[in-house]
């Protein structure tokens, strides 16, 4: 009764109340937060008015937007509305990819575009405090990633940050060896980028998949991408996606301390649930995120069709048990899936397909973009207990005539200053007050 009264009062006050999730909860598991916040929509902003939205990201502290512009990083300070572009010398950061922030919002890591442009890739970090750009893995090789006979290239990619400025990344030693050596490394530093030591080996992942680039970030990835570190920084989860785009895709977790890797889910098992009987479209994995208590991984799927049912799943990391978070199995036919016109608290067909979404920094919600024709908005999936709801939670719907369509954006990010949560989705910044 008390909880119902609280929810009713929040509704009367104009708050969008985020009900809890369907995920089973283990009370003994640690969580970063005790109670997920209630989120109240504040406003939205088109970002193409500021700059190039394709590789635009928001800092984790929610204070600034950054995007690469030729040989500079442009920085938009949200509080003041001022923009400054900081030179990167003769390094063209516009053609880089994989931009990820350190948790303290000081560093931005990235690399050459190995998978689209097939450039030889090094790991770079820009320090926004000292305005210093450093190539952490400079091997003196510039150009394409095709090794000459007798030459082995060290290709570095897919960086992900841990606490205390620890930077993990994948390295493929690309040459004539079969199988190709494929390893996880990390950098640590305490006295600035200029004092960084050689990277430390963490795990040999060659046995995960016998091909050189089974782990990679793609421009259609959502949530936190294809490589994500657990809230306690003890496990690294990643998508394994063969280059032939087969259904032989899976989700693995490597223990940071021991280097032991294990498969926690296979795509072929996930798609046994959440898909309507009329759907015959092939699905692929395209995004990962952790729940804030570290118990679950959230995984999204994608297809080659716009009007396909693409469920989102939760996987219990220890047991490998899975369940659909976005479940389309009850949609009777494709016409109903596409033409659903009444937006309610229930899954609404294509409107709830996650093609753009991000996990909040505390792991309490997946915030995602809704779209179906001219109907567009933002919804949330709660990822933490208490445990009495399994429906999407509607945060915002564009008023009629205001939605002008998506803008190009290669990755989706969130920033949280403690008072406001800001998320970047399809070229818009949505701001929510935390209650």
Phi-psi category of residue 164: left, alpha or beta, with phi > 0 → left and psi -120 to 50 → alpha = left
Neighbours of 403 (CB within 10 A): 17
pLDDT 10s digit of each residue in the chain, 435 long?
Answer: 323 323 332 333 333 333 334 455 444 344 455 578 999 999 999 999 999 999 999 999 999 999 999 999 999 999 999 999 999 999 999 989 999 999 999 999 999 887 776 777 899 999 999 999 999 998 877 766 566 666 778 889 999 999 888 999 999 887 766 657 789 999 987 666 776 778 999 999 988 887 778 888 888 899 999 999 999 999 999 999 987 667 789 999 999 999 999 999 999 999 999 999 999 889 999 999 999 999 999 999 999 887 889 999 999 999 999 999 999 999 999 888 988 666 677 777 889 999 999 999 999 999 999 988 778 999 999 998 753 356 789 999 999 889 988 999 999 999 999 999 999 999 999 999 998
Domain ranges of the chain: 2-434
* 3-state SS, residue 85: strand
Going across the sheet that includes 322-326, the strands are 222-223, 284-290, 296-302, 312-316, 322-326
Domain 2-434, CATH number (from 1.10.3720.10, 2.130.10.10, 3.40.1370.10, 1.10.260.40)? 2.130.10.10
Sign of the torsion angle spanned by Cα atoms 42, 16, 38, 65: negative
pLDDT for 176 = 65
Element (H, E) at 285: strand 284-290
DSSP 110: E
pLDDT for 121 = 86
Nearest C-alpha neighbor of 285 from the set 348, 351, 346, 215: 215
pLDDT for 195 = 66
DSSP 296: E
Going across the sheet that includes 428-434, the strands are 39-46, 428-434, 420-425, 413-416
Complete DSSP assignment for 44-79 = EEESTTTS--TT-EE-TTSSEEEEE-SSEEEEEETT
pLDDT for 126 = 97
pLDDT for 149 = 65
Contact 284, 301 (CB under 8 A): yes
pLDDT for 235 = 97
Our CA angle for 284, 60, 394, nearest 5°, is: 60
pLDDT for 3 = 30
pLDDT for 14 = 34
CA distance 357 to 176: 39
pLDDT for 1 = 30
- Cα 144 to its chain centre, rounded Å, is 27
| CB-based contacts of 201, cutoff 8 Å, min separation 6 | 183, 184, 185
pTM: 0.88
């Amino acid at each position: 009764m008390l909880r119902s009264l609280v929810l009713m009062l929040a509704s009367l006050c104009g708050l969008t109340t985020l009900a809890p999730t369907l995920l089973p909860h283990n009370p003994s598991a640690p969580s970063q937060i005790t109670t997920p916040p209630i989120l109240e929509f504040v406003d939205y902003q088109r970002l193409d008015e500021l700059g190039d939205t394709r590789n635009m990201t928001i800092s984790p502290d929610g204070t600034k937007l950054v995007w690469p512009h030729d040989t500079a990083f442009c920085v938009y300070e949200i509080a003041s509305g001022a923009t400054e572009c900081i030179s990167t010398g003769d390094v063209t950061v516009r053609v880089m990819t994989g931009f990820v922030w350190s948790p303290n919002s000081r560093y931005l890591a990235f690399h050459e575009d190995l998978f689209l442009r097939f450039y030889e890739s090094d790991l770079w970090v820009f320090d926004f405090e000292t305005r210093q750009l450093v190539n952490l893995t400079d091997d003196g090789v510039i150009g394409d990633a095709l090794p000459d006979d007798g030459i082995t290239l060290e290709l570095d990619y897919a960086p992900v940050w841990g606490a205390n400025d620890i930077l993990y990344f994948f390295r493929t030693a690309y040459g004539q060896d079969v199988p190709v050596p494929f390893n996880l490394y990390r950098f640590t530093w305490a006295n600035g980028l200029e004092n960084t030591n050689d990277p430390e080996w963490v795990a040999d992942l060659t046995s995960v998949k016998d091909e050189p680039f089974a782990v990679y970030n793609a421009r259609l990835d959502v949530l936190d991408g294809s490589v994500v570190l657990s809230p306690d920084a003890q496990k690294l989860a990643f998508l394994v996606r063969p280059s032939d785009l087969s259904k032989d895709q899976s989700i693995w977790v490597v223990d940071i301390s021991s280097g032991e890797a294990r498969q926690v889910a296979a795509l072929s098992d996930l798609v046994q649930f959440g898909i309507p009987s009329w759907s015959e479209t092939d699905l692929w994995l395209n995004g990962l995120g952790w729940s804030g208590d570290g118990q679950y991984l959230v995984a999204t799927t994608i297809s080659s069709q716009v009007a396909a049912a693409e469920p989102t799943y939760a996987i219990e990391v220890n047991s490998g048990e899975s369940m659909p978070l976005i479940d389309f199995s009850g949609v009777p036919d494709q016409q109903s899936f596409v033409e659903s016109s009444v937006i309610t608290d229930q899954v609404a067909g294509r409107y709830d397909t996650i093609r753009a979404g991000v996990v909040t920094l505390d792991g309490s919600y997946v915030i995602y973009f809704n779209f179906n024709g001219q109907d567009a908005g933002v919804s949330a999936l709660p990822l933490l207990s208490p445990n009495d709801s399994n429906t999407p939670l509607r945060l915002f719907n564009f008023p009629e005539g205001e939605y002008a369509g998506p803008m190009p954006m290669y990755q989706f990010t969130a920033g949280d200053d403690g008072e406001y949560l800001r998320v970047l989705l399809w070229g818009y910044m949505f701001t929510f007050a935390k209650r």
